[in-house]
């Protein structure tokens, strides 16, 4: 009998995280569900066909979040994959420091805290797979929310650095950077959205990217074209059209 894969999903209460939890559970995996909204996690747990575990964690309180995820790993007796899906976008045209600080607390500090726990565990196990959900917004600084795009660039660069280190040290620890475009979640609001997909469609593409141990994946694939255009566009073109 094969041992079921064990997966922890940070930010599993809604959107992409919830859809990923459903996919992994339906494929026979044990799932650790982490989020602030425990009531939503409890409701999700009742729908999952396989064994699942719940932890309440707020990434704006990194020390408490670290302790919660560590205890979850212990309860699950080790995990194979950790997916850090939590992130926030706060529209901030007034350049309010409180909003920017919260974005940093969740997308940078909180992300790093959980990545630290995952990597320490994988080092002890001698194997593992760290997955981070960044964004195509991190490819280049965006005027509508400079701090948000910078925070997503941090995630992509952090994951690339870890992947590079694992390759140099020849460790069996894989790293995947997921770069979604517009996904139909609470975070995606506004009139200028395009190529929008459902959370379920995005999660399916993410699942296969992880399964293939891709170093990075655009969700959906068409966003690769957007990424290339944004990355190499001259400054005057970028300033005028993006």
pLDDT digits (tens, 9 = 90+) for 179-237: 999 998 766 555 566 778 999 999 999 999 999 999 999 999 999 999 999 999 999 99
The pTM score is 0.94
- Give me 170's structure tokens: 């020849």
pLDDT at 130 over 60: yes
How far is residue 238's CA from residue 242's CA, in Å, rounded to a whole number? 5
CATH of domain 6-241: 3.40.50.720
The pLDDT of residue 1 is 46
- Active-site residues, by number, are 148
Q: What is the pLDDT of residues 96-123, one digit of tens each?
A: 999 999 999 999 999 999 999 999 999 9
**Rounded alpha-carbon distances, angstroms, from residue 52 to 25, 28, 84, 167, 180:** 8, 11, 17, 32, 26
CA-CA-CA-CA dihedral for 219, 220, 223, 224, to nearest 10: 80
């Amino acid at each position: 009998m094969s041992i079921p894969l064990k997966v922890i999903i940070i930010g599993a209460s809604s959107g992409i995280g919830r859809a990923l939890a459903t996919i992994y559970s339906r494929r026979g995996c044990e799932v650790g569900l982490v989020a602030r909204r425990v009531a939503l996690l409890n409701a999700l747990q009742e729908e999952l066909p396989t064994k699942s575990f719940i932890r309440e964690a707020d990434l704006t309180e990194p020390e408490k979040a670290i302790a919660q995820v560590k205890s979850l790993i212990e309860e699950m007796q080790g995990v194979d994959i950790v997916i850090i899906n939590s992130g926030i976008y706060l529209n901030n045209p007034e350049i309010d420091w409180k909003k920017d600080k919260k974005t940093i607390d969740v997308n940078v500090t909180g992300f790093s805290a959980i990545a630290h726990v995952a990597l320490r565990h994988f080092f002890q196990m001698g194997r593992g797979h760290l997955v981070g959900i960044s964004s195509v917004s991190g490819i280049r600084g965006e005027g509508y929310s400079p701090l948000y795009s910078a925070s997503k660039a941090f995630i992509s660069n952090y994951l690339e650095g870890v992947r590079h280190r694992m390759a140099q040290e020849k460790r069996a620890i894989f790293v995947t950077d997921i770069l979604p475009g517009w996904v139909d979640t609470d975070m995606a609001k506004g009139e200028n959205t395009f190529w929008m997909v459902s959370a379920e469609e995005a999660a399916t593409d993410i699942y296969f990217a992880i399964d293939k141990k891709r170093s990075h994946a655009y969700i959906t694939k068409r966003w690769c074209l957007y990424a290339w255009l944004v990355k190499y566009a001259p400054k005057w073109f970028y300033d005028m059209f993006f």
